[in-house]
Structure 1
Amino acid sequence: MPIDASEAEEFSELASKALNSLPYDSPGQAFVAFEKPAGVPAVGKFSNTLTFVVKEVDLSTCEAEDDGLEDEYQLEDLEVVAADYMVKVSVSNFRNAWESMNEEDEHVDEYGLGQRERVWEKL
């Protein structure tokens, strides 16, 4: 199953497991594993195409013919976004959680609106 990772250049293919045979009307699975760089919330889009060969089967011997018809099926794209690396954390008391944060996790800066008659003029 070829995967186009041209829009996910930070990822590298680590391993894949193809499905060598899939009888008619039977489910099957193929796998491709990608690795992302350590410490980087890599994002990207993967385009997936299922390529296969359809073969006729001799009903008397249950043997597949040697030649077949090559075909492909476009599967839905898979997109990895920054939100895929985030986990919701339940906080029962926000004030305590805020005050328990370390100073190195904090960034403080000042911003000014300048001289304006109304706040919404700056927005």
Structure 2
Amino acid sequence: MISTVGGSGLGEDSKEQSVETDKPLWLHVTKLGKTFEEGGNVSFKCNYCGGTYKGSYSRVKAHLLKIAGHRIKMCPKITTSQLIEINRQVDEAECRIKRALPKEIRLPSTHGSSHASSSSVRVDHSFIC
């Protein structure tokens, strides 16, 4: 038996809010529109340097956090203090996502036999992170 405790509870109305809290870097760029390419690619303008680029959230992340290897120019206008703050926002969002994932814990069988199958329960460990 599998039971779930503390699901995400996200409905259709909260999708936009979820994107802002799960992917905070979208708040640091201006989306100009969806591209005709596959996936989550959009055209976006950096709110710091004003550069216009195409790509998904991972390219926004590479641009703003100055991560090499994503074939996008690193933002020349982000200061060290801004970089620290943006990294903090990303870390908090990733932690929220991780905490929302259910964890499966095997419980001992309620049957007397040691060969009987055990139950499992999904537990939300919100205190981790």
> Could you say which TM-score interval applies, normalised by the shorter chain?
under 0.3
* Larger strand proportion of the pair: 1
* TM-score normalised according to structure 1 size: 0.26
Which protein is bigger by CA-based radius of gyration? 1
Report which structure shows greater RCO (CA 8 Å, sep ≥6).
2
